[in-house]
């Protein structure tokens, strides 16, 4: 062998040894960025080769003899494709869900899997779940999707918010991009305040809350708006009742903008569908609008800054037969969130926000002519660190600070054109500061635990009505999951929560007239102890979930008679009574996908009993928001690639209310005389909606659908409000009262054209 051949052999050996040394076997896990759950069947391909692998049921893939200098391409339908160099692989790989327009296909049932989650009664919903909903008045409503789960109902037509396991609307916490949202409904809850077109995902809990959430007793709804898109796209709809448009705009590689707006115009079409007993009556008018703007800035590969602005507005007027009822309410939200990913398992998030809500209304209900206003404002700073190692542990530690201002009521009133002297309430101010920690970990292969602890200090500020007060509360919560079979699991949870605000409602007529006051020396914070036991079963597209729950709420508040008289009190605290309530029930739901049909059925049997020393001689009575029976059923059928059919049926017990019997004139002053507390109940609410959607053939990047919805198909007259008329005048000693009812919507066909480009 000559010298040249020897040199070549040495160089070749070095090259071969270096390459062999650089080759290695790798095994990593792929995780959904939003849900933190493993993703199965992700394609992992070695770039510029035909070699690759797929992730298994645990999201894990294995590859042998891979060069450090190579890159891997991770791809799966519904997720953003990622390319990562082998030498940069550390920990787990996160894939972000990719938001498509109208044609997104997600094979899931309406309610997400309960089997994987430790906490019972916790639901995660994606944009795909919303797409599977039937249309209601031309809308696919994410808040409605929550309402169709067991244990949750709409208050009643004409009142906003959700009722969760016997609690009232004030006991629910709703966050939009981590910003507090006070009111979640437009008129009567028929439209929610959330336009589902801008929703990326939603998480809803009615037990075992994360320790990051506090200040409310019944539920938490956490809504995430759309993430920046790879390219600019628009989607919207044009219909008989409303129009909306959402644009996800990619400005450049680091900046993106999300804009979304919606407006109804019921006033234009009400002559075709309305009658004098509905909200579409001749002398009534209603409209709503909402607008969202969000700017996303990518500061670095690991840091992002998001700024969100959100506005909602409702306006209702009723000038029937000489009446002059006017209602307006709306939210204004603004907040900025900074997110940073320190490593594959450690991240942090900081949010600074302000939320403002105002409600005003006026009426000339005999013998009063009045107008009133109420406001609620929260300035908030939140921060947390999250250590998340899937299937090993998840630890969150954080702090919240809130500055709160509440104006319970500001009233002007007259009797027979004579001004009524009312000492209007000052604004109540209070601060609260919380520290919390949450830890989830597996005890064994079949058992997982999630435990949390939240410590909160409450400081109220002195005004003319209340003194400065300080409360300190500890809120433990714990959940267990025992998965005794691959497709079956038992769950249980306990939580103790405190709420520093109190809601008192005028229930003698059906308006969203809720007043909020803060805890004081004589009005202690509300406290709930809740126990929940659940069972989950899943197999071959069948999901079956059931739960038993019991909750006890102390320091629960009601107005003494829940009447219009409470508006004119000089001190709202004098009219508030303190008691307790117990709620217990059975919840059951089943959903199944059979070929082209997806169907869900949910049933709730419950009882909510309140007890006050000063009401009904201390005897218990049904709480205002007691709903003994609640049933709903949803069906979605994809006839072919073009036509989809949907149906929705709802049945729920009516709301309790206190009816005035008559007006008595005592010392020349009219006094409304009421029956026993909550002795009357609204008629049972039930409704059937039908929808049909036709998809037109795609033309390039332009896609569109036509939807026909028949709301209230059999024209049931569900009451929107109950009000009372009188016969007689103030010179009489006794004035008779007659009950009248207004309905919300009759049978109402709507036609909507949906588009995206």
pLDDT of residue 566: 55
Q: Which of 102-111, 183-192, 581-590, 685-694 has the lowest mean pLDDT?
A: 102-111
Largest CA distance in the chain: 130
Residue with token string 């009489």: 732
319-328, 502-511, 612-621 — most confident range: 612-621
Comparing 674 with 475, which gets the higher pLDDT?
475
**654 vs 591: CA distance, rounded Å:** 26
Query: How confident is residue 11, by pLDDT bands cut at 50, 70 and 90?
Result: very low
User: What is the structure's pLDDT at 208?
Assistant: 81
- The mean of the pLDDT values for the chain is 80
Amino acid 639: pLDDT:
86
Residues ≥6 apart with Cβ < 8 Å to 688: 647, 648, 649, 712, 713, 714
Residues in the chain: 757
Which pair of structure tokens corresponds to residue 664? Answer: 């008595």
Confidence of residue 105 (pLDDT cuts 50, 70, 90): very low
Whether residue 153 contacts residue 167, with contact meaning beta carbons closer than 8 Å, is answered with no
Secondary element (H or E) of residue 13: helix 3-22
pLDDT digits (tens, 9 = 90+) for 328-370: 888 999 999 999 999 888 999 999 999 999 888 777 665 667 7
Q: What percent of the chain has pLDDT over 90?
A: 22
Q: Where are the domains of the chain?
A: 3-95, 122-756
What would the pLDDT profile of 279-303 be if each residue is shown by its tens digit?
556 667 777 888 999 999 999 888 9
- The better pLDDT of the pair 22, 94 is held by 94
In 3-state terms the chain splits into helix, strand, coil percentages (rounded to 5) of: 10, 60, 30
How far, in Å, CA of 284 to CA of 281, rounded? 5
State the average pLDDT over residues 624-632: 85
CATH number of 122-756: 2.40.170.20
- Burial class of residue 333 (count of CB atoms within 10 Å of its CB; 0-12, 13-18, 19+): buried
- Span 533-549, pLDDT tens digits: 989 898 877 888 899 99
Whole-number Å distance between alpha carbons of 136 and 713? 11
Q: What is the pLDDT of residues 701-725, one digit of tens each?
A: 788 888 888 888 888 877 766 666 6
CA distance linking residue 189 with residue 726, whole number of Å: 30
Structural contact between residues 751 and 239, judged by C-beta atoms closer than 8 angstroms = yes
Q: Yes or no: say if 118 and 440 are a contact pair by the CB < 8 Å rule.
A: yes
Beta carbons of 289 and 313 less than 8 angstroms apart: yes
For residues 86-113, b (16+ Cβ closer than 10 Å) or e, as one string?
beeeeebbbbebebbbeebeeebbbbbb
**CB-based contact 663:726 (threshold 8 Å):** yes
Lowest mean pLDDT among 7-16, 380-389, 410-419, 552-561: 7-16
- Which has more pLDDT, 512 or 604? 604
Domains 3-95 and 122-756 share a fold: no
At a CB cut-off of 8 Å and minimum separation 6, what does 152 contact?
146, 162, 163, 164, 206, 219
pLDDT digits (tens, 9 = 90+) for 441-489: 989 888 999 999 999 999 988 877 778 889 999 999 999 999 888 889 9
User: How many whole angstroms from its chain centre is CA 179?
Assistant: 12
Gap between the Cα atoms of 645 and 597, Å rounded: 9
Gyration radius of the chain over CA positions: 29
Predicted local confidence at residue 691, as pLDDT: 86
Q: Best-predicted range by mean pLDDT among 131-140, 265-274, 602-611, 742-751?
A: 602-611
Higher pLDDT, 84 or 720: 84
Residue 12 has pLDDT above 50, yes or no: no
Which is more confident, 394 or 735? 394
Q: Domain spanning 3-95 has what CATH number?
A: 2.60.40.1120
Cα 257 to Cα 221, 292, 307, distances in angstroms: 24, 10, 10
Alpha helices, DSSP H, located in 119-198: 127-131, 142-147
């Amino acid at each position: 062998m000559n010298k040249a051949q020897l040199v070549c052999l040495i160089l070749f050996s070095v090259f071969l040894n270096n390459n062999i040394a650089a080759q290695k076997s790798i095994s990593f896990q792929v995780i959904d960025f939003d849900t933190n759950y493993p993703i199965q069947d992700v394609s992992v391909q070695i770039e510029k080769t035909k070699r690759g692998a797929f992730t298994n049921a645990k999201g894990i893939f294995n590859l042998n003899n891979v060069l450090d200098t190579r890159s891997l391409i991770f791809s799966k339908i519904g997720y953003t494709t990622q390319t990562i160099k082998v030498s940069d692989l550390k920990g787990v790989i996160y894939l972000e869900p990719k938001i498509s327009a109208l044609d997104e296909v997600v094979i899931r049932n309406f309610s997400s899997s309960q089997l994987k989650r430790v906490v019972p009664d916790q639901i995660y919903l994606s944009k795909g779940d919303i797409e599977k909903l039937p249309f209601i008045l031309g809308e696919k409503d994410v808040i409605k999707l929550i309402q169709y789960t067991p244990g949750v109902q709409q208050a009643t037509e004409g009142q906003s918010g959700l009722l969760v396991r016997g609690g009232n609307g004030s006991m629910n916490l709703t966050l939009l991009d981590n910003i507090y949202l006070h009111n979640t409904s437009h008129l009567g809850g028929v439209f929610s305040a959330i336009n589902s077109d801008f929703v990326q995902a939603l998480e809803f809990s009615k037990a075992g809350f994360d320790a990051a959430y506090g200040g409310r007793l019944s539920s938490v709804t956490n809504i995430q708006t759309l993430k920046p898109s790879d390219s600019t796209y628009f989607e919207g709809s044009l219909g008989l009742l409303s129009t909306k448009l959402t644009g996800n705009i990619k400005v450049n590689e680091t900046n993106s903008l999300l804009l979304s707006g919606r407006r109804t115009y019921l006033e234009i079409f009400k002559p075709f569908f309305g009658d004098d007993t509905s909200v579409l009556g001749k002398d009534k008018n209603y409209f709503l609008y909402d607008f969202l703007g969000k700017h996303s800035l990518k500061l670095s590969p690991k840091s992002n800054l998001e700024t969100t602005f959100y506005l909602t507005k409702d306006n209702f007027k009723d000038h029937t037969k000489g009446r002059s009822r006017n209602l307006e309410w709306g939210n204004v939200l603004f907040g900025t969130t900074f997110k940073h990913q320190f490593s594959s398992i450690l991240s942090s998030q900081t949010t600074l926000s302000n939320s403002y809500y105002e409600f005003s209304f006026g009426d000339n209900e005999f013998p009063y002519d009045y107008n009133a206003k109420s406001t609620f404002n929260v300035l908030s700073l939140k921060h947390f660190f999250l250590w998340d190692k899937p299937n090993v542990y998840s630890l969150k530690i954080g702090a919240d600070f809130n500055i709160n201002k509440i104006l319970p009521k500001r009233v002007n009133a007259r009797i027979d054109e004579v001004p009524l002297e009312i000492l209007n309430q000052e604004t109540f101010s209070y601060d609260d500061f919380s520290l919390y920690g949450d830890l989830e970990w597996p005890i064994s292969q079949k058992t997982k635990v999630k435990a949390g602890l939240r410590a909160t200090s409450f400081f109220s500020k002195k005004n003319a009505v209340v003194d400065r007060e300080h409360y300190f509360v500890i809120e433990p919560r714990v959940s267990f999951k025992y998965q005794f079979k691959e497709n079956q699991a038992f769950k249980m949870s306990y939580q103790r929560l405190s709420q520093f605000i109190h809601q008192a409602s005028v229930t003698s007529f059906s308006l969203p007239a809720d007043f909020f006051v803060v805890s004081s020396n004589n009005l202690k914070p509300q406290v709930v102890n809740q126990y929940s036991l659940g069972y989950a079963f899943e197999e071959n597209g069948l999901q079956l979930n059931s739960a038993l729950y019991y909750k006890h709420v102390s320091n629960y508040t009601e107005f003494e008679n829940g009447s219009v008289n409470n508006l004119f009190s000089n001190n709202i605290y004098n009219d508030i009574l303190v008691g307790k309530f117990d709620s217990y029930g059975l919840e059951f739901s089943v959903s199944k996908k059979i070929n082209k049909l997806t169907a869900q059925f949910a049933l709730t049997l419950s009882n909510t009993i309140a007890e006050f020393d000063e009401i009904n001689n201390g005897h218990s009575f049904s709480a205002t928001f007691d709903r003994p029976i609640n049933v709903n059923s949803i069906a979605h059928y994809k006839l072919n690639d073009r036509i989809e059919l949907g149906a929705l049926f709802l049945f729920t017990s009516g709301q309790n209310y206190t009816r005035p019997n008559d007006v008595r004139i005592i010392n020349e002053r009219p006094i409304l005389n009421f029956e026993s507390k909550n002795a009357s109940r609204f008629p049972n609410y039930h409704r059937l909606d039908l929808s049909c959607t036709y998809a037109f053939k795609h033309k390039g990047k332009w896609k569109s659908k036509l939807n026909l919805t028949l709301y209230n198909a059999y024209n049931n007259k569900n009451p929107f409000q109950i009000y009372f008329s009188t016969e007689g005048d103030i010179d009489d000693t006794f004035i008779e009262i007659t009950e009248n009812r207004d309905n919300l919507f009759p049978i109402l066909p709507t036609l909507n054209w949906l588009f995206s480009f």
